[in-house]
Amino acid sequence: MRAVMQFTGLFLVALTGWQAGPASAQGLLGQEPKVLDMTRGSWAYFRDYNGRQLIYFTHLEAYKCGIASVSYSLNSDALDKNWKLQLCDLKKPHHITTDKPYISLPLGTANSITVQLTFNDGAKSKVVRIDSDNQIIR
């Protein structure tokens, strides 16, 4: 049955050019500002691990093709640091290519992180502040 499904899928791609699955995620290209606005609480994620405080930017790495830059600050609204996103691969736009999508700090260093995105068209996102319990601070 699986071989028939694979054959049918290949036939469908050959016949119509349409393909389901991971390639359909490419349909989100250009929609990053909208998606990221709806998922602001996921822009950064705090985790204490192995005696360190880690702050992950995994979600932003997954949408890097629509982001020109990421500014952030710890325990303030200064936005004085930059997270360097990995290069966008249009064939795998949501693929996370870094094995270290986080910053590592001594435990208890950051009580909050403030983040602002600049999108490829130059527009800036709202400023988002997330506390160390992973809650958006309003």
CATH number, domain containing residue 67: 2.60.40
DSSP 91-109: TSTT----S--EEEEETT-
- Domain contains 103: yes
- 39 found inside a domain: yes
Domain count for the chain: 1
Between the CA of residue 40 and those of 78, 104, 124, what are the distances in Å? 18, 21, 13
Residues 77 and 94: their CA atoms lie apart, in Å, by 28
- The answer to whether residue 131 is domain-embedded is yes
Q: Which residues have a Cβ under 8 Å from the Cβ of 34 and sit 6 or more positions away?
A: none
In a domain, 19, yes or no: no
The boundaries of the domain holding residue 36 are 25-137
Residue 55 near residue 45 (C-beta atoms within 8 A): yes
In a domain, 93, yes or no: yes
Residue 25 pLDDT > 50: no
Tell me, what's the pLDDT at 27? Answer: 55
Structure tokens that stand for 52 in this block: 């360190």
The confidence score (pLDDT) of residue 31 equals 83
pLDDT digits (tens, 9 = 90+) for 28-57: 677 899 999 999 999 999 999 999 999 999
Q: Looking at residue 122, what is its pLDDT?
A: 97
- The answer as to whether 9 is a domain residue is no
